[in-house]
Each structure stands twice: as structure tokens, then as C-alpha cells.
Amino acid sequence: MALVIRMPEILTGMAEAIVIGWHVAPGDEVSVGQPIAEIETEKAAVDYESEQTGTVAGFLIELGAPVTVGTPIMVLAVSGESAEQALAEASGAAGAASESTGDAVAPATPTAQPTPAPAPAPAPAPAPAILPVRIEAPADRSGESAATGTSVSAAPAASPERRFASPLVRRLARERNVDLTTVVGTGPGGRIVRRDLDRFAAGGTAQSAAPPVAQPAAPQAQPVAAPVTAGASTTRPAPRADDGEFTDVPHTGMRRAIARRLTESKSTVPHFYMDVDCRVDALLELRRTMKADIGPGAPTPSVNDFVLKAVAGAFQDVPEANAIWTSDAIRRFASVSVAVAVAIDGGLVTPVVRNVDTRSIGDIGRTVADLASRAREGRLNQSELEGGSFTVSNLGMYGIERFGAIINPPHAGILAVGAATRRAVVDDDGTISSATVMTVTLSGDHRVLDGALAAQWLGAFKARIEHPMRILL
């Protein structure tokens, strides 16, 4: 029986994604856990690993086209089944499913709906009655024309200098100081994908191939200050004459995702906040001792690494807090996995550090450094963006002393960590002295954490961070 691989939901709440490359070709054997496709989401490009075993029979979508979650993207043939049989069976199953719902069979890429091209073009052929498939191996598509109906023809009109590339590619190009006008795209319709950028960086010179054909005519260009859409004037007033010059920066996929997710969080999750001041002189002294003992040049655990370990220790002290909300129950976890907020160009991501409770401080530091580095390069794996019950967001390196963070669903809490600064404090004997104090603010989901439980957890965290030897035990 043929196996149909569908577009996965890489990130919670994700509606669509783009396959930017295949790691396999028709005829290849695929096993469980093997990377089969590189999928670009609103936040990162990840390698998607197969959950099935079989032989690649064919692909059902165009590279570079937006695809809705759940759409079939690949067909695997099982043992003893030919590629043709698998493809026919997959197409037949799709037709039967469509008839049962009374709808016509949709093409395999329902989200890649092309908008009219700048110039009139012949009407496209009618959609086939079965899933469209291609049995060829991935190939260089740099010569594909805009009339194929790929994502290139769906792009908005732009100036002649515009190059078609994803937000991830544009961010990487800025980080590497690469002019995209000198890079030749090999994606659908000349779209620049990440492998083109990597190839260009390795060669150091522009490719000599013909430029992409997907550049619209110059008369379609719009002034910077013009309304973005025809209905813009109905949603906001026109700029006043005394407002001065301004520039509209179009929303990236990541910015839209952040806006959607955080609006959903604040609208549906009952937030409450608690903060506490932690004296960290002993922690900083321990870190200085470790740095001296380790020697010059060796990586020293950061304050944030100690924070993560203290968070895990607090969950060991108060295991009832290590939980998330589901529609049917409060799910409590036996191990502690913590997400770390990492700022990247144009937004942030929250890769998850697994089993923080059983890791050493040094191991936590190396893992966080690796995740942060690959997050900024857009090279995180799917599994590294999922799981956990809690998030840590640290803005202390920016000099921020206190702030409240928005919970990252489905997590039940997030700890906002401020800068460690010298402050006047009152000791137990009533004397005033100077100490290094770090303020942390807990944002809790009141569906999971009651006030007393959250206060108990925060007290356990404070005890460990103020007595760092407890963190190392």
C-alpha cells in the first residue's frame, strides 16, 4: 500500500511552509528518521525527517511554492510495489476522498495560487482529475518560465532590481554581505534558495548563467510612500503633510508569525506576573573561580547557563509546576526541557534544550551556543523547535533590569531575566550594604499555575541562584 507523506506542522499553529530542496530522489530507499526534505517555515529552514519506510515513488509539489500543512508532498512505495503502482494508488485514494466529500479533486499544491502576471498570458490548462506528480529527480530549474504558475508569477510587482528570494535567504545575504543581484537563483522561476547563496559564497564570484526570467517590467514599480494595497486608505488615514518622510517595511513571514502567536497568547492565555530580586554575588564569584581554573581560551559557562540549570533545579523541587495545559488535562513532565529565546535578524526563535536537569553546566553552555549559532543561520532541525514546558528570555546583556515576557504556547511559563547590577540592599540585621542584584519576572499561565504554586517555584529558583553550589549538585 502506497504511503503518502504530507506537509508536516513544523511549528505549532503553522499554516503553510515551503519545500526548498529534496534530500532524496525517486528510487531512493527511505528509512525512519532519515532527512528527506528541507522545509522553510516562517522562522527557520529545517530538515524534515521521514516517519515512514519505503522507496521514493515521486514528488507531488513544486519546489519553492507555499504548501498548506497536511497537503501530500511525496509518495513512498512499499516493498514489492512499483513506483507507478504507488502513484496510481495515491491518486486513486485522493479521488475517492474527494468524491466522498462531494468536492472536486484539488491539485497537490492548493496554496500556490498564481496571481495574474504583469502581461496577459494564455489561460492555464484545467487542473487534472488526479494528484499531479513528477517522477523525475530534483533538477536545476533556473530556466523555468514565469508562465508555469509557480510562486514567481505570484510575486507582487517590483522594481527591475528585485530578486525573488525568501526572507531567510535575504537575512543570510545581509549577514554575509552578499548582493543578491549578483546571485543566480536555481529555484522555481529563478527564485534564489539557500543552496544558491551557499554556492555563491563558496565560489566568491557571481555565476555566469543567464539572470532569472522572473523580473517584472519596470512600469509596475510603485513609489515607496504609495499605499501597499488598494484598500489601505480604508484602514488607515493618509499621511499628513506635516508627518514628514516615512518608509513602509513589508511584513516578513517571521514577523507575521510572531504577531499572530503572541496576539493569540495574550488573548487566550490568562497571564499573571511575579518578580523577585536575587543576590548573585556568590554566583559571579563562582563563575570567576571557574574561569580561572579552566584557563584562558576555554569557554566559561555564562550566567544564563546557570539560570537554565537553576530553572531545572526549581522544577525538581516543585515538580507540579513542570506542566502544560491541554484541552483534556494538565500534562506534567518527568524531565525538564527548557526553551531559550534567541534573537535573530527580524525576530526571534526558541530552540529547546532537552533534559536540562541531567546535564552539566558545561554541557548546557555548549548546547545553547550551538543552538543559538544555528538559529541565526536558519539551520535548526524540526525537533529542536518543539517540546518543553518553559522558556527563559534574558535581556540582561542589553542593560534591561526588569521586564515582563509573553508566554510562548504551549508552555505554561516564561522567566524574564534582567541585568545583574549593583544596588543598595538591607541585610537581615538592618544594615545597608551594596550587593549585585538580578531581577527575574515569572509570567505564568493561570490555567496551570496557581499563585501559591508559582510563588513556591520562584522561591526555589531564588534559593538555588543565590546559593550556586546547589546548582552544581
> What number is the average pLDDT over the span 422-438?
94
DSSP character for 127?
A: P
- Report domain extents, the chain: 3-101, 140-218, 270-472
End-to-end CA gap in the chain? 53
Backbone phi and psi for residue 390, each to the nearest 5 degrees, phi listed first:
-155, 155
Whether domain 140-218 has CATH 3.40.50.300: no
β-bridge partners, 112: none
- Where in the sequence numbering do the catalytic residues fall? 446
Q: Judge whether 462 and 310 are in contact, CB under 8 Å.
A: no
Dist. CA 246–CA 134, nearest whole Å: 47
CA dihedral 291, 293, 298, 300 (to 10 degrees): -30
- Give 150-200 pLDDT, tens digit per residue: 333 333 343 444 556 766 777 778 777 888 888 888 776 677 877 787 778
pLDDT at residue 209 is higher than 70: no
Q: Which residues contact 124 (CB under 8 A, 6 or more apart)?
A: 149
The DSSP secondary-structure symbol of 422 reads: E
What's the rounded Cα separation, in Å, for the pair 89 and 361?
Answer: 53
What is the structure's pLDDT at 237?
Answer: 55
Q: Where are the alpha helices (DSSP H) in 295-396?
A: 303-317, 361-376
Task: Quickly name the fold that domain 270-472 has.
Answer: Chloramphenicol Acetyltransferase (3.30.559)
Residue type present at position 102 = G
Query: Could you tell me whether strands 72-77 and 29-30 are parallel, antiparallel, or unpaired per DSSP bridges?
Result: unpaired
Nearest to 219 by CA among 158, 164, 162: 158
Tell me the CATH architecture of domain 3-101.
Answer: Beta Barrel (2.40)
Report pLDDT for 45: 72
DSSP 80: T
* Long-range pairs for 171-175: beta carbons < 8 A, 24 or more residues apart: 171/344, 171/345, 171/346, 171/378, 172/197, 172/377, 172/378, 173/197, 174/345, 175/345, 175/376
Give residue-wise pLDDT tens across range 386-415: 899 999 999 999 999 999 999 999 999 999
Q: What is the pLDDT of residues 229-255, one digit of tens each?
A: 434 434 455 555 566 788 998 887 778
Phi/psi at 367 (nearest 5 deg)? -65, -45
pTM above 0.75, yes or no: no
pLDDT at 52 over 80: yes
Amino acid at 452: A
Assign 381 a pLDDT band (cuts: 50, 70, 90): confident
The torsion of the CA quartet 62, 66, 71, 76, rounded to 10 degrees, works out to 40
